């Protein structure tokens, strides 16, 4: 609530300061504007007075009447034109000319210029009409011929109490306009209709300070006073009267910072407007002073007042806060004393009720206090043991180390971690028992003292003994268990060796099965060549007896071809007889292909199976064992041939896929494929889809194990277009790294 009242008071003071400052600044601005306006009006009046009697003086010249009576006399007219030109030059007037009663100009100072008034009729001008009525005329207008602003003085020329002509003097007020220059004040001169014809702002010329009525506008247009100028009023949106001839206005002006946003281009500017009438000249002098300087001074006064108030408030708050701090400091001191007393009582209660023995020593190691736990441990009462040396409570062998902790300050740095000692303590009945103690140095009013904390280790030592016995028993059991595990490991190792031996036997069995197939095929294949060789040999002997040596040579050539064919037939036995190296090494994929195709040559030829291998295998190396890889490929090809039994067209397509680390071969046959339920079982031992007696179901299982041992993968699937697919992936070897 106090903050709200303070803020409200603060705002009220600032508002009062702003109001008073604004009123004072407006009064100052009005006085300054009044002085400037009087000065500007006087300068304008002096300028006009220089020429106001000139028409009357010229009207007395006899030459003007001569021209009026003899307007056709060119000599008289020419002489008057030259005379008017000289007068214009001497007086500094803009133009001087003579008008006939009809309004036609008979002679003019600008007779020899393109904008000459000679021959022009200005009967519609009020200054002409006033002079013809016998009065002196004064008028401001925009020249219809010269298109220049001018102030006109006219005077009648009389003859026998009759007006026979009018002499007119036109002056230019541009010099006065250029002399008025004030950054914060704009000066205007208006006619009796409040039309601005002199202004320090170019854009305000020929604007009105008040909207014109329809009749006034028609009157001005009919007199051609401002020719074709559009007489629109200035966009004054607000008027606030202050005094007679003084008001505050809001004028819409272009805002150059608004860019292309037409809506935002107009902004309201505040002005103080003061006018001073010149009735004899039918003019009004108007001054507009910008209120930005008033707003700036009001703002400065408000800011200064705000700063002063803020400083006063902060000073008051500082004094209040200082008094509050002194009060709080006194209260805190009293509370600290009470807290200290409570803490001392609490510490004493803790010391008396703690489970550890607490003893305080003086600088010489004498006992000053003995808590109840220490009394129970050592069997001494506090009054009986006080002032005795602490070493009296320690067994003889451990007294030296405890005494060094008290007497040698290097043994116990104040900021170091306090060492914990395990020593033998001595009770009042001279019984020894183990304890754990710490000796901590403290300062009491500048005097060095010690606090000794004691824990009885009797139960812990007994527990350590039991724990040691349990550990020994556990170590014995672990040793026995380790020996049992060692025996189990030995048995497991023997089983693994037996398993490997069994695997080798299975591989050997698979080889024997293949060997049987090879033998049967070779036996069948060799019968025909051998029969043919026998026939060719018998025929050659007969041809030799008949001395037909050319036929003998032909038969011998046929025999040579048959022996080469027999060599190819028995080549699989040579390849099959090779032994595995037992170690993985870089193997050429082309060599694996040749070895596998040599083993299956007879079977593939007899069953008319087409095997399509990928091109460019000579540069591809894989990590493996030559013999085992040949066996895997032979098994995959043999299974593919077996799957296509009974089909007319037998084809095996082998595709190649390379990655950065692996080389994959996919073997696809044209058979019926593998049943989906059997895909997960094809690599299990003794699983086969062949008829009884045609296989043991070990080929794929052994092949899968071989590929895994070589760090590869062997998987089975069915091709979308039919047939089974076996994918063999092996580790790829870069030939460049080997070279």
- Cα–Cα distance measured from residue 663 to residue 737, given in angstroms and rounded to the nearest whole number: 17
pLDDT tens by residue, 285-340: 888 877 777 777 778 878 888 888 888 888 888 888 888 898 888 888 888 888 87
Per DSSP, 148 falls in state -
Q: Where in the chain is the domain with CATH 3.30.565.10?
A: 583-738
One-letter-per-residue 3-state SS of 535-559: HHHHHHHHHHHCCCHHHHHHHHHHH
Gap between the terminal Cα atoms of the chain: 94
- Cα–Cα distance measured from residue 411 to residue 402, given in angstroms and rounded to the nearest whole number: 10
- What value, to the nearest 5°, has the Cα angle with vertex 647 and ends 646 and 653? 125
Who's near 252: CB < 8 A, 6+ residues apart?
Answer: 235, 236, 237, 266, 267, 268, 269
Does domain 354-456 bear CATH number 3.30.450.20? yes
- Cα–Cα distance measured from residue 665 to residue 722, given in angstroms and rounded to the nearest whole number: 18
Does domain 53-172 bear CATH number 3.30.70.260? no
> Does an H or E element contain 384, and which?
helix 382-385
Local confidence band at 506 (pLDDT 50, 70, 90 cut-offs): low
Is 613's pLDDT higher than 90? yes
| Helices of type H across 92-135 | 126-132
- Cα–Cα distance measured from residue 97 to residue 77, given in angstroms and rounded to the nearest whole number: 11
Give me the percent of the chain exceeding a pLDDT of 90: 10
Residue 100 backbone phi and psi in degrees, to 5: -75, 165
Structure tokens at 731: 């580790």
pTM: 0.39
For residue 262, the model assigns a pLDDT of 47
User: Residue range 132-148: average pLDDT?
Assistant: 80
Local confidence band at 496 (pLDDT 50, 70, 90 cut-offs): low
Kindly report the average pLDDT of the chain as a whole number: 80
Give the Cβ contact number of residue 529 at 10 Å: 17
Fold of 175-295: Beta-Lactamase (3.30.450)
Q: Of the given ranges (44-48, 272-276, 504-508), which has the lowest mean pLDDT?
A: 504-508
pLDDT tens by residue, 375-402: 888 888 877 888 888 888 888 888 888 8
- Cβ neighbourhood burial of 466 (10 Å; 0-12, 13-18, 19+): exposed
Find where tokens 């089975």 sit: 716
pLDDT tens by residue, 18-47: 778 877 777 777 777 777 777 777 877 787
Local confidence band at 263 (pLDDT 50, 70, 90 cut-offs): very low
Q: Among the CATH numbers 2.40.100.10, 1.10.3210.50, 3.90.199.10, 3.30.565.10, which is that of 583-738?
A: 3.30.565.10
Q: Where in the chain is the domain with CATH 3.30.450.20?
A: 53-172, 175-295, 354-456
3-state secondary structure of 244: coil
Is 208's pLDDT higher than 90? no
pLDDT tens by residue, 545-575: 888 888 888 878 878 766 765 665 565 555 4
Are 84 and 94 a contacting pair, CB within 8 Å? Answer: no
């Amino acid at each position: 609530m106090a903050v709200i009242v303070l803020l409200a008071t603060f705002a009220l003071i600032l508002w009062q300061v702003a109001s008073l400052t604004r009123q004072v600044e407006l009064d100052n601005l009005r006085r300054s504007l009044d002085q400037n306006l009087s000065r500007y009006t006087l300068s304008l009046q002096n300028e006009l007075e220089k020429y106001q009697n000139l028409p009357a003086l010229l009207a007395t010249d006899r030459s003007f009447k001569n021209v009026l009576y003899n307007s056709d006399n060119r000599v008289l007219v020419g002489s008057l034109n030259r005379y008017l030109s000289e007068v214009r030059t001497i007086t500094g007037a803009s133009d001087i000319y003579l008008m006939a009663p009809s309004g036609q100009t008979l002679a003019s100072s600008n007779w020899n210029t393109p904008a000459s008034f000679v021959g022009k009729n200005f009967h519609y001008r009020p200054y002409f009409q006033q002079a013809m009525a016998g009065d002196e005329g004064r008028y401001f207008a925009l020249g219809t011929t010269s298109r220049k602003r001018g102030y006109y003085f006219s005077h009648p020329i009389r003859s026998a109490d009759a007006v026979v002509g009018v002499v007119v003097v036109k002056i230019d007020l541009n010099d006065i306009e250029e002399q008025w220059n004030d950054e914060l004040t704009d000066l205007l001169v208006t006619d009796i209709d409040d039309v601005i014809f002199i202004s320090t702002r170019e854009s305000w010329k020929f604007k009105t300070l008040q909207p014109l009525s329809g009749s006034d506008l028609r009157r001005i247009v009919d007199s051609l006073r401002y020719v074709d100028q559009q007489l629109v009023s200035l966009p004054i949106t607000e008027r606030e009267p202050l005094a007679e001839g003084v008001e505050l206005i809001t004028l819409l002006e272009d805002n150059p910072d608004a860019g292309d946003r037409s809506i935002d281009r107009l902004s309201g500017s505040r002005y103080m407007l003061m006018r001073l009438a010149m009735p004899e000249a039918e003019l009004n002098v108007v001054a507009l002073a910008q209120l930005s300087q008033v707003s700036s001074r009001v703002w400065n006064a408000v800011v200064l007042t705000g700063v002063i108030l803020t400083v006063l408030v902060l000073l008051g708050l500082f004094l209040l806060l200082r008094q509050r701090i002194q009060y709080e400091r006194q209260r805190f001191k009293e509370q600290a004393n009470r807290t200290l007393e409570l803490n001392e009582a609490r510490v004493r209660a803790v010391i008396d009720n703690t489970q550890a023995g607490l003893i305080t020593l003086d600088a010489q190691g004498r006992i000053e206090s003995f808590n109840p736990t220490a009394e129970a441990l050592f069997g001494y009462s506090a009054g009986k043991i006080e002032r005795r040396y602490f070493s009296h409570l320690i067994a003889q062998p451990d007294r030296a180390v405890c005494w060094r902790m008290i007497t040698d300050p290097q043994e116990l740095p104040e900021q170091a971690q306090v060492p914990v000692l395990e020593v033998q303590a001595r009770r009042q009945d001279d019984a020894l028992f183990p304890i754990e103690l710490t000796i901590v140095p403290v300062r009491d009013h500048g005097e060095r003292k010690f606090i000794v904390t004691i824990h009885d280790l009797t139960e812990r030592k007994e527990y350590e003994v039991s724990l040691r016995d349990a550990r020994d028993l556990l170590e014995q059991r672990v040793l026995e268990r380790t020996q049992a595990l060692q025996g189990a490991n030995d048995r497991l190792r023997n089983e693994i060796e037996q398993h490997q031996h069994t695997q080798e036997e299975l591989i050997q069995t698979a080889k024997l099965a293949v060997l049987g197939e090879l033998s049967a095929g070779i036996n069948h294949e060799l019968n025909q060549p051998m029969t043919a060789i026998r026939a060719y040999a018998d025929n050659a002997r007969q041809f030799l007896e008949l001395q037909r040596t050319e036929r003998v040579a032909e038969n011998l050539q046929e025999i040579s071809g048959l022996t080469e064919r027999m060599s190819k037939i028995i080549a699989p036995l040579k390849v099959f007889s090779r032994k595995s190296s037992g170690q993985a090494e870089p193997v050429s994929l082309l060599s694996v292909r040749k070895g596998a195709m040599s083993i299956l040559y007879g079977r593939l030829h007899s069953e008319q199976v087409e095997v399509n291998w990928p091109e460019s295998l000579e540069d591809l190396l894989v990590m493996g064992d030559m013999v085992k890889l040949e066996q895997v490929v032979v098994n995959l090809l043999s299974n593919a041939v077996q799957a296509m039994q009974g089909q007319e067209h037998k084809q095996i397509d082998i595709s190649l896929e390379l990655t950065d680390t692996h080389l994959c071969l996919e073997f696809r046959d044209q058979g019926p494929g593998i049943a989906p339920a059997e895909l997960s079982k094809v690599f299990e031992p003794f699983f086969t889809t062949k008829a009884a007696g045609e296989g043991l179901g070990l080929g794929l299982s052994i092949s899968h194990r071989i590929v895994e041992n070589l760090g590869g993968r062997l998987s089975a699937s069915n091709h979308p277009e039919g047939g089974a697919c076996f994918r063999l992936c092996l580790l790829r070897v870069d030939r460049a790294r080997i070279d």
